[in-house]
Copies of this chain bind each other. A is one copy, B any other.
């Protein structure tokens, strides 16, 4: 006999959700979200079960909420997480003898049972016991019921009293729960600010901000770019590393092994005589300039995202100050980064198996804290999958303890289980395989996987059609239509998306060589001069980002749903948020016009079959009246390869109608 076991606890609670790794990791939500707390709850026999959920913000005491049974022994309570930080929940359930008796009494009355007197006495005993537990006011009320049931009234009248809702409420509050089952642990939910779920990123090299050929841009000079970026509708400006760049083994243009004297080097080769991860590259400016840029950006509704790349150039001060943080080879040289036969002599990785790993971890945490102290709350972390995974779980928790509004984007293009683990460990957002998912089948499979539980409970996609490292073949060869399609797919499939500009809006598409995804004359190794171009994608980007702001459906992913089409080159999907319904239909062949029939699951998006509905093309302004699920589309990549339709569910009044104009 297990000593601690009370065999009279007859209820089982299992299959709880949301639960990431059975509660080892936190589920992710954002401020204001309604969270469905669910569990499988059941016991033996036919008795009625009652169940509650307990939930609390980390700083508060638990609140109890009654659960509702759904089907198949699944129970639910809905809560609103209205503060950022960590929340916890758990469950309690028990055999509810009063409700069981109450339910059965109805059946007995209906069946004209002979033993109603005895049955009333059984209930009376339960009410007496509850009165013993109850507070003063409730006790008085329960005693009044007891008096009636003990009295001389006819049995019918006593039973009428038992049906009183007051009695049920009193019994709910006062019944004993001595034999309740409590779920074995509390489960965590990490609640972020809303930007974690809905953000629009623009990546730009500040050293290319000068606008004049050959001139090194500055952080102050970036200020002049802010109006353009804000007008396009971006709310996060992501800067590649702004730190001093090493001289030793500096890479030349197009990643050449030897740099020319005027080559600027890669910003990811961090550290030089002017300092390391807590310094600003002298040609970019100063820490003060950085803070000034952050303030100016905020005035445009833009937040800065800083690149955190944990590696050092051979000139990084750490190399001399902390040789124990680097791996020394038998010949005394420091091990540079390599993936044989490839060599990256301009970069020393940290040696995370050093005896001094705790000091190293603390220093790396302090880099986050340093920049958080300068106002940064979004960190884009470079290659987290090449540093020990447990480090990220620790450092993100450390930073968020002081800065609970800090967000982290994982730049890990690696195997799926590692990407998922990083997200579980705490990364707020993650880069995805979007850049290489071009066909209807690929897009459907991939975005269904990453936008539904269990993955969506911990993984928030951030979709990028390009980055300084990724110029896909689709963009290289697809022309303007390819850029348009990929922009709109990113912006409508994923509530978080971004572009690397101005290369994207200028539709830069020449690779370093055939078969390479590197840009020719990559900005990673040289200054660029970007001047205005009226024919670029700026206007389309501006429209798309406005559509995202105006349609709550596009600000989340959980309602994403793909609808069948009869042409494999045409993908169709919807997102809904309350009354707001947006359907995107894209031709994924950048070379040819395609037409076909789409087959919309009307019920799933809240439309009634047989009712006409209006679709409003948010790109072209046109309005069509559709009826039924099947509708015809024709999309020409040389004109505009995508429809974004907002659906009018029904006209209820002129005022309602206005809203959709």
- Chain B residues near A5: list those with CB within 8 A: 390, 394
Report the copy number of this chain in the oligomer.
2
- Chain B residues near A7: list those with CB within 8 A: 352, 357-358, 361, 388, 390-391, 394
Within 8 A of B (CB), among A362-410: 362, 385-391, 394
In the complex, what residue of chain B is closest to A40 when comparing beta carbons? B417
Counting chain B CB atoms within 10 Å of each CB, which of A12, A21, A362 scores highest?
A: A12
A329 touches B8 (CB 8 A): no
Whether A66 sits at the interface, judged by CB under 8 Å, is no
Whether A151 sits at the interface, judged by CB under 8 Å, is no
- Chain B residues near A362: list those with CB within 8 A: 1
In the complex, A517 Cα to B226 Cα: how many Å?
77
Known contacts A7-B352, A8-B357; A45 and B341 CB within 8 A of each other? no
- Chain B residues near A164: list those with CB within 8 A: none
- Chain B residues near A9: list those with CB within 8 A: 390
Q: Chain A contact residues (Cβ within 8 angstroms of B): what range?
A: 35 or more
Would you give the shortest CB distance from A44 to chain B, in whole angstroms? Answer: 5
A interface majority secondary structure:
mixed
In the complex, what residue of chain B is closest to A95 when comparing beta carbons? B353
- Chain B residues near A14: list those with CB within 8 A: 21, 421
Say which residue of B1, B339, B415, B417 sits within 8 Å of A361 (CB atoms). Answer: B1
A340 touches B389 (CB 8 A): no
Would you give the shortest CB distance from A19 to chain B, in whole angstroms? Answer: 10
A43 touches B8 (CB 8 A): no
A12 touches B391 (CB 8 A): no
Whether A72 sits at the interface, judged by CB under 8 Å, is yes
Would you give the shortest CB distance from A5 to chain B, in whole angstroms? Answer: 7
In the complex, A590 Cα to B61 Cα: how many Å?
63
- Chain B residues near A179: list those with CB within 8 A: 353
In the complex, A72 Cα to B420 Cα: how many Å?
12
Whether A156 sits at the interface, judged by CB under 8 Å, is no
B352 touches A110 (CB 8 A): no
A352 touches B10 (CB 8 A): yes
In the complex, A416 Cα to B21 Cα: how many Å?
24
Counting chain B CB atoms within 10 Å of each CB, which of A104, A330, A340, A352 scores highest?
A: A340
Known contacts A42-B417, A72-B416, A353-B8; A329 and B385 CB within 8 A of each other? no
In the complex, A46 Cα to B361 Cα: how many Å?
21
A415 touches B10 (CB 8 A): no
In the complex, A543 Cα to B331 Cα: how many Å?
78
Stretch at the interface among A117-125, A275-283, A558-566, A568-576: A117-125
Say which residue of B22, B122, B389 sits within 8 Å of A22 (CB atoms). Answer: B22
In the complex, A606 Cα to B194 Cα: how many Å?
53
Whether A73 sits at the interface, judged by CB under 8 Å, is yes
Within 8 A of B (CB), among A39-55: 40, 42-46
Whether A418 sits at the interface, judged by CB under 8 Å, is yes
Whether A113 sits at the interface, judged by CB under 8 Å, is yes
- Chain B residues near A45: list those with CB within 8 A: 385-387
- Chain B residues near A72: list those with CB within 8 A: 415-417
Whether A133 sits at the interface, judged by CB under 8 Å, is no
B118 touches A387 (CB 8 A): no
Whether A212 sits at the interface, judged by CB under 8 Å, is no
- Chain B residues near A421: list those with CB within 8 A: 12, 14, 42
In the complex, what residue of chain B is closest to A103 when comparing beta carbons? B340
B341 touches A110 (CB 8 A): yes
Q: Mark A6-49, 1 if CB is under 8 A from B, else 0.
A: 01111010110000011000000000000000001011111000
In the complex, A5 Cα to B549 Cα: how many Å?
44
Whether A622 sits at the interface, judged by CB under 8 Å, is no
In the complex, what residue of chain B is closest to A352 when comparing beta carbons? B8
In the complex, A329 Cα to B497 Cα: how many Å?
67
In the complex, A377 Cα to B415 Cα: how many Å?
49
B12 touches A44 (CB 8 A): no
Known contacts A113-B341, A352-B8; A44 and B122 CB within 8 A of each other? no
In the complex, A417 Cα to B75 Cα: how many Å?
13
A107 touches B388 (CB 8 A): no
Whether A108 sits at the interface, judged by CB under 8 Å, is yes
Within 8 A of B (CB), among A109-131: 110-111, 113, 118, 121-122, 124-125
Within 8 A of B (CB), among A467-483: none
Whether A661 sits at the interface, judged by CB under 8 Å, is no
- Chain B residues near A8: list those with CB within 8 A: 352-353, 357, 388
B121 touches A331 (CB 8 A): yes
Within 8 A of B (CB), among A531-578: none
Say which residue of B73, B340, B352 sits within 8 Å of A104 (CB atoms). Answer: B340
- Chain B residues near A358: list those with CB within 8 A: 1, 7
A-B contact pairs, 23 of them (CB 8 A): A1-B362, A1-B394, A7-B352, A7-B361, A7-B391, A8-B352, A8-B357, A8-B388, A12-B421, A14-B21, A15-B417, A44-B387, A44-B418, A45-B385, A46-B339, A72-B416, A72-B417, A104-B340, A108-B340, A108-B341, A111-B341, A113-B340, A121-B329
User: Interface residues, chain A, CB within 8 Å of chain B?
Assistant: 1-2, 5, 7-10, 12, 14-15, 21-22, 40, 42-46, 72-73, 104, 107-108, 110-111, 113, 118, 121-122, 124-125, 179, 329-331, 333, 339-341, 352-353, 357-358, 361-362, 385-391, 394, 415-418, 421
A108-B341, A121-B329 are known contacts; what are 19 more A-B pairs with Cβ within 8 Å? A2-B394, A5-B394, A7-B361, A8-B352, A8-B357, A10-B353, A10-B389, A14-B21, A42-B415, A44-B386, A44-B389, A44-B418, A46-B339, A72-B415, A72-B416, A108-B340, A110-B341, A111-B340, A113-B340
The 7 closest A-B pairs by CB, nearest first: A111-B341, A121-B330, A107-B340, A104-B340, A10-B388, A45-B386, A73-B417
